[in-house]
Amino acid sequence: MAKKLFSSYTIKDLTLKNRIVMSPMCMYSCTNKDGKVTNWHLTHYTSRAVGQVGLVIVEASAVTPQGRISDQDLGIWSDDHIEGLKQLVDLNHEHGSKMGIQIAHAGRKAELEGPIIAPSAEAFSDEYQVPKEMTSEDIKETVEAFRQGARRAKEAGFDLIEIHGAHGYLINEFLSPLANKRTDEYGGSKDNRYRFLSEVIDAVRDAWQGPLSVRVSANDFIEGGNTPDDYVYYAKKMKDQGVDIIDCSSGAVAPANIDAFPGYQVPYADQIRKEANIPTAAVGLILDPVQAEEILKNDRADLIFLGRELLRDPYWPRTAAVKLGETIETPVQYERGWRF
């Protein structure tokens, strides 16, 4: 019987050749601090397409200059970014991979000179600067920035957009009571804390009709923070707004001790998938092909997002195929070395 890891998967009108996804990971490689694609990005991402990854998701790309995690991050805040991103998309398409991009705003975790913004004027930790609490106008401008980022992603030819709502960045800050101390319509109750993400989703959907993912931190790991049960609630709302898949990560909205072990985040993908009735992606210390196959075969998630494993081995799909006894498509240039 064919392995599920190498079966195709369809999200809306997008069909992936397998369930292996390159998780978005910052490369800190924009040498001129302008957010533009460099030769490094062209080499790095295209290598994984040659390696037969079904979907490659480009790292967090900031919707405003102020929203970068660092000044070496990719950007999507200007039409000047479209040309390089389109080149990146086209190169990966040549090698059979579909392309996604994660659009993001760092909020209070931006490590930049000058003022930064967040739901509340509270720093992430003593090592971070204190952000300015966002005004209603700041919120409107940021929502519009996400809309324009989605438009640019569409013009660049991406197949999927992922909204970054995890890891303590801006959207996650609004969602979590640990970071959101507002007393207006964007703070307090669970629905109020969801309001900013809701507006971002609607804005992105206005500009983008293709497959849409949201990455979430499904557990804050701190008493008083959000739990997986809270994210089931949020996931149901996201599904109603047209989100197609939830990428289930965890943590990083506030400093916490996290017991990380292989597959430690998979239960979040499993719970959200079953209780919110929405497709999910599993991510985080998925190290072995057998482990990945088990997650899929037991219907605990629909896609496998790989981070560090694809940094160590750009051809991980071949490694997995050998271990699982599968035969996969081989780049013609590599046939002499990839014979099974």
Does the annotation flag 102 for ligand binding? yes
Does the annotation flag 321 for ligand binding? no
Whether the CA torsion 216, 140, 86, 7 is positive or negative: it is positive
3-class SS of residue 209: coil
Does the annotation flag 28 for ligand binding? yes
Does the annotation flag 308 for ligand binding? yes
| DSSP state at residue 164 | E
Per the DSSP assignment, residues forming a β-bridge with 162 are 102, 213
> Which residue carries 């924009």 as its tokens?
30
Does the annotation flag 60 for ligand binding? yes
State which amino acid sits at residue 264: Y
3-class SS of residue 15: strand
Whether the CA torsion 307, 315, 50, 244 is positive or negative: it is negative
Classify residue 252 as left (phi > 0), alpha (psi -120 to 50) or beta: left
Does the annotation flag 165 for ligand binding? yes
Does the annotation flag 339 for ligand binding? no
Does the annotation flag 166 for ligand binding? yes
Residue 195 structure tokens: 């309001």
Does the annotation flag 25 for ligand binding? yes
> Which residue carries 């805040």 as its tokens?
77
State which amino acid sits at residue 49: A
Does the annotation flag 164 for ligand binding? yes
Residue 256 structure tokens: 């916490």
Known binding-site residues for FMN equal 23-26, 60, 102, 215, 307-308
Known binding-site residues equal 23-26, 28, 60, 102, 164-167, 215, 307-308
Known binding-site residues for substrate equal 28, 164-167
